[in-house]
Amino acid sequence: MIEFERVHKTYKVGGREITALEPCDLQIPQGQIFGLIGHSGAGKSTLLRLINRLEEPSGGRILVDGIDVTALPAKGLRQFRQKLGMIFQHFNLLSSKTVADNVAMPLKLAGEHTAAEIRTRVAMLLARVGLSDHADKYPAQLSGGQKQRVGIARALATSPKILLCDEATSALDPQTTAQVLQLLNELNRELNLTIVLITHEMDVIRRVCDQVAVMDAGQIVEQGPVAEVFLHPKHPTTRRFVFEAEQLDENEMANDFAQVQGRIVRLTFQGQATYAPLLGQIARQSGVDYSILGGRIDHIRDVPYGQLTLSLVGGDADAALAQLKAADVTVEVLRA
Ligand SMILES: Nc1ncnc2c1ncn2[C@@H]1O[C@H](COP(=O)(O)OP(=O)(O)OP(=O)(O)O)[C@@H](O)[C@H]1O
């Protein structure tokens, strides 16, 4: 468990103070993939780098498994950092070293392993990330996705319990992004690894995260399980991210709504309800006619969801909506 208690951070630049993180309380349970999303300058990197004390907090306490890491002396901090791995947007591999030597680096620095132990562990890590055949190559000979796999293998070398990912897929194309996210997903489950992940894409959050915190101007403005935040965004910043990901335009939707009669509702189906033939049944029973104004079916992590925007005309619309709610469908009335 990672806990922030009133943690804040101010940078001093040429006599001027820049607040990067307002006092922040946060809890990240062990074994979760926790996403931090926000626009450039929102304070995401600062928050992430406070966890491994690459940045020192200006105040507050950070506890990892109950240990106050803000109070650790130099030796304790070195040991603590071995329990944390980090991966970066631009991979940060050493260009003059081979793939195997890059992965071996944290083990060599720890100074606790024989050369044979390091060789065995590196071979195992490279096999896990699918790069056994590339051990003797240099980073320049690899694709972006392969470089990030080396970064992941290196980050996992000392068997950390926490992996910090700073925009780890931002430099990758969509297909490679999907593969790297899939690998992170698998590692999270296999190793019960806590992953804290920074991104500016809601789609990355939707695909892998359990929880999300949305940051704006140094503050967490919305936080919760991804399904809740993604399907029912409240803060304007969250709404912008979700609408961007869904390629929706609020003004266009308002224009569309002006063209149709009746009530307008948004229905959210999750899990089993996503595929149940509810809508037709309920429309027949209540005598309501509906037209579909928008919708999609997708997954949040592994859970399917469907979201439909409908206009309802005639019949007993109240009864229809009550039946939908009784079947665990979330109903939001967009126009009464
Ligand atoms: N070392 C530093 N010295 C001075 N100001 C800094 C430093 N690092 C960050 N800042 C400032 O703190 C604020 C938050 O920056 P941070 O990098 O945490 O945001 P971010 O959300 O990660 O942005 P990005 O997505 O662009 O990386 C910004 O105003 C930034 O200019």
Check pLDDT > 90 for residue 56: yes
Check pLDDT > 90 for residue 189: yes
Taking only the tens place, the pLDDT of each residue in 287-321 is 999 988 888 888 888 888 888 999 999 999 999 99
26 within 8 A of 213, measured Cβ to Cβ: yes
> Of how many residues is the chain composed?
336
* Residue owning the nearest CA to atom 26 of ligand 1: 40
Taking only the tens place, the pLDDT of each residue in 241-267 is 988 877 767 777 777 788 888 999 999
320 within 8 A of 314, measured Cβ to Cβ: no
Residues having CB within 6 Å of any atom of ligand 1: 11, 13, 18, 20, 38, 40-46
List, in sequence order, every residue forming a beta bridge with 88; answer none if it has no partner. Answer: 166
Taking only the tens place, the pLDDT of each residue in 114-155 is 999 999 999 999 999 999 999 999 999 999 999 999 999 999
The pLDDT value given to residue 50: 96
Q: List the single range of 95-99, 185-189, 331-335 with lowest mean pLDDT.
A: 331-335
| ipTM of the modeled complex | 0.96
Q: Considering the chain, what percentage of its residues have pLDDT values greater than 70? A: 99
Distance 99 CA to ligand 1 centre (A): 31
SS3 at position 189: helix
Residue 118, classified by CB atoms within 10 Å of its CB into exposed (0-12), middle (13-18) or buried (19+), is: buried
- Dist CA 258 CA 275 (whole Å): 30
SS3 at position 100: helix
1's tokens: 């468990």
* Residue owning the nearest CA to atom 12 of ligand 1: 20
Closest ligand 1 atom to residue 55 Cα is 1
* Residue owning the nearest CA to atom 8 of ligand 1: 46
Phi and psi angles of residue 6, each rounded to the nearest 5 degrees, phi first: 50, 45
The pLDDT value given to residue 166: 94
Taking only the tens place, the pLDDT of each residue in 272-293 is 777 778 888 898 999 999 988 8
Q: The pTM is what?
A: 0.88
SS3 at position 199: strand
Full set of structural domains in the chain with CATH:
2-244 (3.40.50.300), 248-335 (3.30.70.260)
102 within 8 A of 149, measured Cβ to Cβ: no
78's tokens: 């070195």
Q: What average pLDDT score do residues 6-17 get?
A: 94
